[in-house]
Amino acid sequence: MKIKLSKKEYDYLLKFKKVNNDMVSEESKVIIDFDEDYLLDLHDWVNDQLLTTGFDENYELNDDGKILDNLVDILNV
């Protein structure tokens, strides 16, 4: 399944080695072709990351949380 990501979202997943350059199917945009099983695992990981690192002390989304919140929406297919 192909998923379109922003550069920030792609870089965030790349930082945690959840994607690699071989997964990108187009040079001009970040479009990744995920195996459905991997996509489900990635969705779970993103949700866990959001809960553990995505909020500040006032329970507001921090910078990572904003990226993760967008990824939850994108990966919720």
- In DSSP notation, 8-46 reads HHHHHHHHTTSS-GGGB--SSSEEEE--HHHHHHHHHHH
- Is-above-0.85 flag for pTM? no
What are the pLDDT digits (tens) for 13-72?
999 999 887 777 665 568 888 889 999 999 999 999 999 999 999 999 999 999 999 999
Q: How far is Cα of residue 50 from the mean position of the Cα atoms in its chain?
A: 10
Instruction: Provide the domain count of the chain.
Output: 1
Full residue range of the structural domain in which residue 57 is found: 2-75
> How far apart, in whole angstroms, are the C-alpha atoms of residue 3 and residue 30?
8
Distance CA 10, CA 20 (A): 9
Can you give the pLDDT at residue 26?
63
